[in-house]
Structure 1
Amino acid sequence: MMWSRRLCATVLVLGVFGVLATAEPTLVDTRIEQLQTRDGSGIEVEYGFLVVPENRLDPKSRDIRLAYIRTRSGNAPAGASPLVMIAGGPGGSSIDLVEGFVGGGGERLISMIGRDVIGIDQRGVGRSEPNLESDVLFGLDPSAPGDPEQMLLKMRAVCAQQAQAMGESGIDLRGYTSVQSADDFDDARRAMGYEKLVLWGGSYGSHLAMATIRRHGAHIERALLTGPEGPDHTLKLPSQMQTVLERIADLAKRDKGLGMPDLLGTLGSVLERADAEPISVEVDGEAVGISGFDIRRAVFHRMYTVRDGIVTIPAFVARLADGDFEPLARELMKEREEEGVWSMMAMVMDAASGASEARRARIEQELDQALLGDVMNFPTDSIGDALGAPDLGASYRGVLESDVPMLFIVGDLDAMTPVSNAKALMEHMPNAQLVVVEHVAHNDLPLGMPELFPIWSGFIAGKSVQSKTISAPAPSFEPIVKAKADRATPVADVASAPEFDVSLLIGRYDLGRAGTLEVRTGASGVLEASIGDEAPQRVRAVSEHELEWIGSDQRLELRVDRGGTVKRAFYFNGSRRIIAQKR
């Protein structure tokens, strides 16, 4: 049964944009350290804390400390605006981001950018004090098929308990919003002595960057926003997931060697059966329940990246269609045992940003047209009141009009922050440009790509760029391993000649330590194969690009491009997979 979203109200904070004036921001406990770089050299960096009010709306608010890192550029012109890197999540560490960025590029990168580089761990995150991370678990039952309403009962109860416990310890969760974080950046600017900032944020980091531009646009020189999440984009549209799923299905269909001509139809059939009758699978002696909601969520989780996720979706769906649910059951068992609060900051930030009534209405309208429904919003939109999260209101989510120069970079397989986000935002941003990278998802923008690197680095350095589309390599899908029952061969077919053109399959393959595999046509016209000095065994062609051993779990599969050239080959022996190099 499709989850029907529960729209839970959060606590409305009146006058949220009338943030109270504060004392002059202060930097404390500053120190200089050497940061080791990948090339073995070291770069001097400054660490310290920025002292800010925990809740600027409360005159009696206590102070908290935000940890920061700053690298100095030796060739930056006088008065140059620093680059402020903003981590996503919410919940990511900007200090870790800067250490990785600067440590990977070294002095050469700092010199090329020509700016100081700053990372501030947002309130409640990383090395900032307090840190609102939590190891409290939701206590979900692995044996129960995923039911969002039942899961929410436990999630909301745990969140409420955590919110109460943090309140009793002196933490004011009402201060953990993107508005307060945006003001933190301006406090840092003033404390560090800069006139303007250059912002770089990805995903939620772009959401926070735009909140900063809305409140302090006069002090923002430019902004690089990868995977943009606008003011009213916190909750995702079912249609944006469906659009990317259709794109993946089209890529899978074009991969003639994959054997998945109708990914959406196959997934739809799997979901229909699971919605009608949930599945129970035994894993290591314990029952694991699987529902259609669980399958939707599992597919969604695979859409964050291309290299580790999207390329596995056709094989994952094929396995479920064949009735093999054990790998998913193991995945769900681990997920339910480990799922918990993780970060109260992340939950409160997203709940506070929320969504407009128009956005919510559109989500409801699109539910029936999207295979995944709106699992991507679970449980974000249903726990705000349990957390006591503030509601930033309609003015926060309204259209952002800005003439700040911006560069959006988005992958065309990004289902979380799709190209449509950037295009909608650009309607009110006359100085914004858009670079679309084909075959790239949310978490794997190839910033080091030769065609992309000079674009974003040039923009940060102050150069003008133009909108364009560039292409990364198309995904290479994980081979589909058919169920044993599908590979069973009647005895009468053993001696028959192949019904396909098997010329691509015939030849010798290097299996590394496993030896050399040879596929040939025997005297009677049937296919046979041998590895090393083993006696030849009968094999059967399943297609022009795949053959299987008669009576065993061995299989050979070729990956062929559109021109018919063998790009890769895989030899399977049971669950073991070996890359086969054709000689």
Structure 2
Amino acid sequence: MTAMKPTTLRVLTVLLFLAMSSGCAARPAQNASPTPSQTIVFEDCKLSSPGMRGTVKARCGNLAVYEDQEQKSERKIDLHIAVVPAVSRSPQPDALFLLAGGPGQAATEAFLPMYPVFDRLHQNRDIVLVDQRGTGQSNSLRCSAPDLSKGSDPNGDTQEPPKDFSTEIEKLKECQAQLKADTRLYTTAATVEDLEQVRTALGYERINLIGVSYGTRVAQAYQRRYPQHTRTATLDGVNPLDWELGPENPANAQRTLNLIFERCTADPACQAAFPDVRKEFSQLLEKLEKQPAQVTFPHPTTGEVTEMELTSDMLASTIQILSYTPETVAYIPLLIHETAERGDYSLLAAQYIIVMGELGRSISNGLYYSVVCAEDVAFYPAASVAPESASYLPDHTAEIKKYCAQWPHTLAPAEFKQPLKSDVPTLLLSGEADPITPPANAEKVVRNLGNALNLVVPGIGHNVIYRGCVPKIVTSFIEAGTTSGLDVECVQKIRPAPFMLNFAGSKP
């Protein structure tokens, strides 16, 4: 039997609060030539994604860049790059650059789930994936940590962590000591300069940016810095430059959960199966706040009998992450009802391990802290945006501040936090029920854009680029290079997955 370590679980819960897969020279674009000193040697490779089957053939290589781009010190790091060449022998000269989320995801690992979105675009355009500095194979800042998908911490320590977070702070210091990096130099602004060096090396005069979640921040920053090299920008799950990830999380999470409960109430089958789901959820939270549950259950991936203390924070984190996608939203009322009715927390504990395991595998925690501490936490308001009682999700901004006080980071300049003003053709995408980057974010950004279209997909959560007819719209937008004349009526016909009424599925 193994025991899940509370210290590790609490750190991951706080991390989840802000979360959002023979050599030759690269083929240059048709109307430009790569700088000889920056030519990248590519080799055949296959791209994969954690937890997914299948691979995509690509060509991978590295580009050495200065870690300190301003001082241009002797130390360099390798940026890992993958190019999925266009199918056509005469491709368009403007490639697609996919910018992953997080912060902390590697573009080469995030691509596989999105590959179907680019089927038509890929016929005539190269797809370029650059692992952001600090992620993937670009001098990763990922620290060693227990993998919750495979079991518990080997020490089996079930002792409650100190209330002053001293244990977590020590772990954070140990993490930083493991890294061969100046963590102050791993920011969005640095990533923008990295992307520009890659664009130059590959010889593309103009590129099409596709940013997802945190990747929309990178896309906006690049678009502002290099508008002459940005042909189009597609922003999915918008993160405004003048907005901080964290303070609004509880309110946004509660808004989404309210939409889920309202949709269940309006659905006769869901309402009949779970008439008191909102009340049941409140009661579960209250019970766990008063007394965490000691749970013994089969580990969801190993089958090993596992012990864990389940807290109200862990319940909240599980519901928050399940509310990201309609496939997992469909499970929320059933999960709440079954847990409340049976008084058995094993299903909930298993779900927590699954979502935390996925987070641990996909996010470079060091890069996450370097970005968030510099660009978000440093600009947090002095007081909470909303009273904690207004949301089921606790406000973890105080804990994040403590972590940032110990993590070496820079401070984003005031000009970085200014809203984007641009005439670059931009398509903004949001899910109506997004719990982390709500439609209001895109509405805020679009006000200052001269050539933009803002779409909201009904009933869908975080990341909508692969939903319904959205891939077709994105393809038409990038092919045309303008937001004018796009047929977007189909978006209103998109619907989320039906609620699961039992473990056999939804009503036919």
TM value normalised by structure 2: 0.76
- The structure in which a higher percent of residues are helix is 2
Q: What are the Cα deviations for residues 413-436 of structure 1, in whole angstroms up to 9, with x where unaligned?
A: 211111111111112223221121
Q: Do structure 1's residue 305 and structure 2's residue 325 form an aligned pair?
A: yes
Partner of 1:273: 287
Q: How many residues align?
A: 446
Mapped partners of 1:28, 1:378: distance in 2: 46
CA gap of 1:36–1:479, structure 2 versus 1, over 3 A, is: closer
CA gap of 1:230–1:136, structure 2 versus 1, over 3 A, is: same
1:306–1:441 contact (8 Å) kept in structure 2: yes
Task: Give the 5 Å matches for 1:11-160.
Answer: 26-31=37-42, 33=44, 46-70=59-83, 71-72=85-86, 73-77=88-92, 80-97=93-110, 109-111=121-123, 114-128=124-138, 130-137=139-146, 143=158, 150=163, 152-160=165-173
Mapped partners of 2:97, 2:63: distance in 1: 14
Partner of 1:370: 391
CA displacement at 1:101 relative to structure 2: 5.7
Partner of 1:476: 498
Mapped partners of 1:125, 1:330: distance in 2: 28
Equivalent in 230, 245, 248 of residue 234 of structure 1: 245
Q: Please list every run of 5 or more consecutive structure 1 residues that lacks an aligned counterpart in the other structure.
A: 7-23, 482-556, 560-566, 569-583
CA displacement at 1:455 relative to structure 2: 0.9
Mapped partners of 1:151, 1:320: distance in 2: 32
CA displacement at 1:409 relative to structure 2: 1.3
Partner of 1:252: 264
RCO (CA 8 Å, sep 6+): is it higher in 1 or 2? Answer: 2
**AA partner of residue 295 (structure 2):** V
Mapped partners of 1:405, 1:300: distance in 2: 33
CA gap of 1:270–1:473, structure 2 versus 1, over 3 A, is: same
Q: What are the Cα deviations for residues 532-578 of structure 1, in whole angstroms up to 9, with x where unaligned?
A: xxxxxxxxxxxxxxxxxxxxxxxxx996xxxxxxx43xxxxxxxxxx
2:425–2:452 contact (8 Å) kept in structure 1: yes
Mapped partners of 2:335, 2:351: distance in 1: 12
Mapped partners of 2:186, 2:132: distance in 1: 9
Q: Do structure 1's residue 225 and structure 2's residue 235 form an aligned pair?
A: yes
Percent identical across equivalent pairs? 22
**AA partner of residue 31 (structure 1):** F
Task: Give the 5 Å matches for 1:322-341.
Answer: 322=341, 323-331=343-351
Mapped partners of 1:201, 1:249: distance in 2: 30
**AA partner of residue 452 (structure 1):** V
Partner of 1:318: 337
Partner of 1:535: none
The structure with the largest alpha-carbon Rg is 1
2:118–2:471 contact (8 Å) kept in structure 1: no
Partner of 1:526: none
CA displacement at 1:89 relative to structure 2: 2.1
TM value normalised by structure 1: 0.67
CA RMSD of aligned residues (A): 3.7
1:56–1:180 contact (8 Å) kept in structure 2: yes
Task: Give the 5 Å matches for 1:311-460.
Answer: 311-322=330-341, 323-331=343-351, 343-355=365-377, 357=379, 360-361=381-382, 363-374=384-395, 380-443=400-463, 445=464, 447=466, 449=468, 451-460=469-478
CA gap of 1:471–1:397, structure 2 versus 1, over 3 A, is: farther
Mapped partners of 1:178, 1:291: distance in 2: 34
CA displacement at 1:179 relative to structure 2: 0.7
1:98–1:117 contact (8 Å) kept in structure 2: no
- The structure in which a higher percent of residues are strand is 1
Q: Give 3-state SS (helix, strand or coil) of 2:140's partner.
A: coil
1:85–1:97 contact (8 Å) kept in structure 2: no
1:52–1:64 contact (8 Å) kept in structure 2: yes
Q: What are the Cα deviations for residues 228-250 of structure 1, in whole angstroms up to 9, with x where unaligned?
A: 11222422512211111110001
CA gap of 1:459–1:324, structure 2 versus 1, over 3 A, is: same
